[in-house]
C-alpha cells in the first residue's frame, strides 16, 4: 500500500511526462489528466474521451526508463486525439444496448455518458463525477471493451512516434517495451503483432532521420532516454504474474 505522499509524487510525475507529450499533440487545449490505476496484476493502459489517460501500476513496474513510459502515454494521447477512445466507448454502449455481455457496471456508466454527451469534442467530465473516477482508479481496465481496430492501433503508434520525437524522446525505447509483450501485443485479437508495430516504428524513425528537409530531419543520436526518478520506485519490483500487455481503449 503506497502512502498518500508516495501516490501524489507518482501521479505528479506521470502527469508531468504525459502533459508534456499532450502539448506536442494537435489537441493541447484539452484538460489532460494522467493517472495511475491501482492494478498490480495487469500490464494495461486506458484512454478516455476528453483527455484522460490511465496506466496500471503493473505497467509502471515494467518500464525501464522515462522514454518507455512516454511511449505508452504518447500512444494513449494519440488514441484520444484521433478520437478512437470516443468511438470505442460508443461501440461498447451500442453492444450493451443490443444485449451483449459486458463485464462491469463502470463500462455501461461511462459509455452512457459519452453517448449522451452533446459536446462536439466528446469530452467526458470525470472530474465532476468523483464516484465514477473512483471506480476507474480503484479497478482494472479489463472491462473496457475489445480495444481498437488494427488500423487504429497502428495509427496511434504512428502519431505517438511524432509526439515522442517532438518531445525529444527515443521512440526506439517504446519499441523495446513493445518487444517485451506477448500474444500479438496483448490478449486482444484485433491488435497488430508487436513485431508489426516495432517494424512500423523503425520505418518512421528512419524516414525522419533521412528526411530531405533539414527542419524535419531527426538526429537520432540526440534523442533522450531519461532515467526514472526516485519517486518512481514506489511502484515496487516487477511482478511475474503476467507478461502480457494490452491497452483497452
Judge whether 156 and 148 are in contact, CB under 8 Å.
yes
CATH among 3.30.300, 3.40.390, 1.25.10, 3.90.1070 for 3-82+145-233? 3.40.390
Judge whether 107 and 143 are in contact, CB under 8 Å.
yes
For residue 242, what is its C-alpha cell?
Answer: 503476467
Pairing state of beta strands 245-247 and 33-37? unpaired
**Over its length of 249 residues, how does the chain's per-residue pLDDT go in tens digits?**
456 788 888 989 999 999 999 999 999 999 999 999 888 888 888 888 889 999 989 999 999 999 999 999 999 999 999 987 555 554 544 444 444 444 344 444 444 443 343 344 444 444 455 445 445 444 434 444 445 578 889 999 999 999 999 999 999 999 999 988 754 443 344 568 899 999 999 999 999 999 888 888 889 889 999 999 887 766 765 544 444 345 544
Query: What value does the CA radius of gyration of the chain take, rounded to a whole number of Å?
Result: 17
Amino acid at each position: 500500500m503506497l502512502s498518500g505522499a508516495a501516490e501524489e509524487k507518482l501521479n505528479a510525475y506521470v502527469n508531468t511526462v504525459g502533459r508534456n507529450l499532450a502539448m506536442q499533440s494537435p489537441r493541447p487545449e484539452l484538460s489532460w489528466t494522467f493517472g495511475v490505476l491501482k492494478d498490480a496484476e495487469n500490464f494495461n493502459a486506458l484512454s478516455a474521451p476528453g483527455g484522460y489517460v490511465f496506466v496500471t501500476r503493473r505497467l509502471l513496474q515494467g518500464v525501464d526508463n522515462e522514454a518507455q513510459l512516454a511511449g505508452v502515454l504518447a500512444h494513449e494521447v494519440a488514441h484520444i486525439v484521433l478520437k478512437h477512445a470516443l468511438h470505442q466507448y460508443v461501440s461498447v454502449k451500442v453492444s450493451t444496448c443490443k444485449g451483449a455481455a459486458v463485464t462491469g457496471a463502470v463500462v455501461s456508466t461511462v459509455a452512457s455518458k459519452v453517448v449522451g454527451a452533446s459536446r462536439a469534442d466528446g469530452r467526458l467530465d470525470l472530474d465532476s463525477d468523483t464516484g465514477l473516477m473512483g471506480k476507474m482508479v480503484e479497478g482494472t481496465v479489463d472491462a473496457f471493451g475489445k480495444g481498437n481496430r488494427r488500423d487504429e492501433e497502428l495509427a496511434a503508434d504512428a502519431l505517438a512516434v511524432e509526439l515522442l520525437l517532438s518531445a525529444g524522446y527515443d521512440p526506439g525505447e517504446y519499441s523495446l517495451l513493445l518487444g517485451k509483450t506477448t500474444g500479438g501485443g496483448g490478449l486482444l485479437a484485433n491488435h497488430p503483432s508487436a513485431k508489426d508495430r516495432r517494424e512500423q516504428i523503425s520505418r518512421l524513425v528512419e524516414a525522419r532521420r533521412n528526411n530531405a528537409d533539414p527542419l524535419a530531419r531527426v538526429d537520432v543520436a540526440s534523442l533522450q532516454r531519461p532515467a526514472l526518478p526516485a519517486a518512481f520506485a514506489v511502484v515496487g519490483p516487477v511482478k511475474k504474474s503476467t507478461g502480457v500487455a494490452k491497452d483497452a481503449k
